[in-house]
Amino acid sequence: MRRPGFTLIELLVVISIFALLIGILLPALGAAKKTACQMRNSSQLRGQHQALVIYSGSNNTYLAGLGTDGNPVPAGLAATGSAADDGTVAGARYWIILNGQFIAPALLINDQDKLSLWTTGAVTTGNQSYAMLRIATTSADDGRRAEWRDNANGSAALLSDRNIGADSSDAQARSLWTTTPGDWRGAVAWGDNHVGFELSNRLTTTTIYNAIKQTNDNLFATASATGVTDNSNVAGANAFMSPTN
């Protein structure tokens, strides 16, 4: 008595259907995984900003790196292992909130990045995947430094995914989420603690630093950057995100 079973043709049809389903599902699963990573990354940036705001509660509203008078803390108070690292340096600012246990080291690393968890000493680009608003002591940074505080300015970009391109130009800027030079896309944390995923290093929203409005702002360049154009020559009007400052 013959037992019922699949014919060769039926088996091939079933295999073809499975192959077709896998071909349809795999890209969707890959896209879903990338979306989940981007959401987690945005949450990490939001967590960093929250830590900075909590720190500011006992620092006259100024975020880590500035003293209660609004001026950068001297080198040594941000003990990153370098005498040159005063409060304007991104690594020093991260060190302040890490050393004060306002934040966990894992929040400084994007899942797409192969970096080392910070344990002690200087915080370098080997420990963190992000960029902070430049707040150097030159007059060109006056506007940015004025916004490095808890004032809930939803038009001031304070933190972002960093630029890993060759330079800050529109033709070279790139993030960990992209593979093509000139295609920077990434998360940006704003002064009111909202985080958005921007599709370009040129912000479509208006940024405001020290009451100076700016549109189409290049996140990684100032008006004085060599070979890179931006919209304003007014001190501190442009966003300028730097991983090291």
Chain segment 13-70, per-residue pLDDT in tens: 777 877 777 777 667 666 667 788 999 999 999 999 999 999 999 999 999 999 999 9
On the question of pLDDT at 83 being above 70, the answer is no
Of the ranges 28-37, 63-72, 190-199, 200-209, which one carries the lowest mean pLDDT score?
Answer: 28-37
Of 215, 70, 67, 92, the C-alpha closest to 141 is 70
Of the ranges 2-16, 80-94, 165-179, which one carries the lowest mean pLDDT score?
Answer: 2-16
pLDDT band at 81 (very low <50, low <70, confident <90, very high): very low
Q: If you average pLDDT over every residue of the chain, what do you get?
A: 86
On the question of pLDDT at 1 being above 90, the answer is no
On the question of pLDDT at 111 being above 50, the answer is yes
pTM over 0.75: yes
Q: Kindly list the domain boundaries of the chain, sorted by start residue.
A: 10-242
In which region does residue 120 sit, left (phi positive, over 0), alpha (psi from -120 to 50) or beta (all else)?
beta
Q: Using an 8 Å Cβ cutoff, are 99 and 60 in contact? A: no
